[in-house]
């Protein structure tokens, strides 16, 4: 008998499988496919203070071993999420959720997190610092340790629930960003967000995405994600949530061996809406195959010899 339970910032999950933000909507959309209570939890669609229409189309394109996206944080805004999306979710999901938050200023992050922190369904706040800082020349908060720390401090000042900071891989030293977040009071970090990529259409001679560049996700980024999770887990003492190209139970175990305490599944949900359920179902069998009895004992095993 294997034990798939894990602990994420003081909250026990039945298993470490978490659909990633932007690939699972607000949860109730997937409840029509299967009982989503089989999941450890899930990270809801990135939510901003004000509604956002997102980027012009086309904004998603397939590529070998992955996909590019430049959706642009399309969402109805935090007030609509609280009034409309969370009540729908309450009817079909009976576990705490991760509320994913984006913003374009420190004040926006803080205000959105304050509103979501008050919702009983929210167990964790996942703060995506890959957004451009409109008061800082457009540079992403996640590319500068000081800017990242400022966001964390502001959010922690108005919240009582665990704050997990979602890190961008589009930096020279992701460890420095992770350590700055930890020192500023973050309860955990999640990584990696998408890698910046681009493709051209040879017929039109133009980029395949209207935005030009987009975020690369899918199996192609998995080795990069494992490396970054391993490096960050060695450098910080707070929990690490791993993600990036995860598409199987074996990938979940490998990510946990690198140092993750839980694992998010992203692009795989867009290819197969049952991807996370399949991983959850497969996990005990794969654990037995590799003689792993407890996931809590496995996490970070590679960092301990």
Q: Residue ranges per domain, the chain?
A: 6-56+66-196+215-304
pLDDT tens track for 23-56: 999 999 999 999 999 999 999 999 999 999 999 9
User: What pLDDT sits at residue 70?
Assistant: 92
User: Burial, 33: exposed, middle or buried (Cβ in 10 Å; 0-12, 13-18, 19+)?
Assistant: exposed
User: Does residue 131 carry a catalytic annotation?
Assistant: yes
pTM, two decimals, is 0.96
Q: Do the Cβ atoms of 124 and 156 come closer than 8 Å?
A: no
pLDDT tens track for 176-218: 999 999 999 999 999 999 999 999 999 999 999 999 999 999 9
Q: Span 6-56+66-196+215-304: which CATH code?
A: 3.20.20.70
Q: Which residues of the chain have pLDDT under 50?
A: 304-305
User: What pLDDT sits at residue 302?
Assistant: 58
The tokens describing 275, both together, are 């991807």
Q: What long-range pairs does 70-76 form, CB within 8 A, spacing at least 24?
A: 70/209, 70/210, 70/211, 70/212, 70/213, 70/214, 70/215, 71/22, 72/211, 73/46, 73/48, 73/102, 73/131, 75/45, 75/46, 75/47, 75/48, 75/51, 76/51
From the list 9, 44, 113, 131, the catalytic residue is: 131
């Amino acid at each position: 008998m294997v034990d798939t339970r894990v602990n994420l910032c003081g909250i026990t999950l039945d298993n470490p499988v978490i659909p990633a933000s932007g690939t699972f909507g607000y949860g109730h959309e997937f409840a029509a496919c299967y009982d989503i209570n089989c999941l450890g939890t899930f990270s809801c669609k990135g939510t901003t203070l004000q509604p956002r229409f997102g980027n012009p189309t086309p904004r998603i394109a397939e590529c070998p071993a992955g996909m590019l996206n430049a959706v642009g944080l399309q969402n109805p805004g935090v007030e609509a999420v609280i009034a409309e999306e969370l009540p729908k979710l309450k009817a079909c999901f009976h576990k705490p959720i991760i509320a994913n938050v984006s913003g374009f200023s420190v004040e926006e992050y803080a205000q959105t997190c304050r509103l979501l922190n008050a919702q009983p369904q929210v167990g964790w706040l996942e703060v995506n610092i890959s957004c451009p800082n409109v008061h800082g020349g457009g540079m992403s908060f996640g590319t500068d340790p000081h800017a990242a720390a400022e966001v964390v401090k502001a959010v922690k000042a108005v919240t009582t629930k665990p704050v997990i900071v979602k890190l961008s891989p589009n930096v020279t030293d992701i460890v420095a960003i992770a350590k700055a977040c930890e020192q500023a009071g973050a309860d955990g970090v999640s990584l990696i967000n998408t890698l910046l990529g681009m493709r051209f259409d040879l017929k039109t001679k133009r980029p395949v995405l209207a935005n030009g560049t987009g975020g690369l996700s899918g199996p192609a980024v998995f080795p990069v994600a494992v490396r970054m999770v391993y490096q960050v887990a060695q450098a910080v003492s707070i929990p690490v949530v791993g993600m990036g190209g995860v598409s199987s139970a074996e990938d979940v175990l490998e990510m946990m061996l690198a140092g993750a305490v839980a694992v998010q599944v992203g692009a795989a949900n867009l290819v197969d809406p049952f991807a996370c359920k399949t991983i959850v179902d497969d996990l005990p069998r794969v654990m037995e195959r590799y003689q792993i009895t407890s996931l809590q004992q496995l996490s970070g095993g590679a960092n301990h010899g």
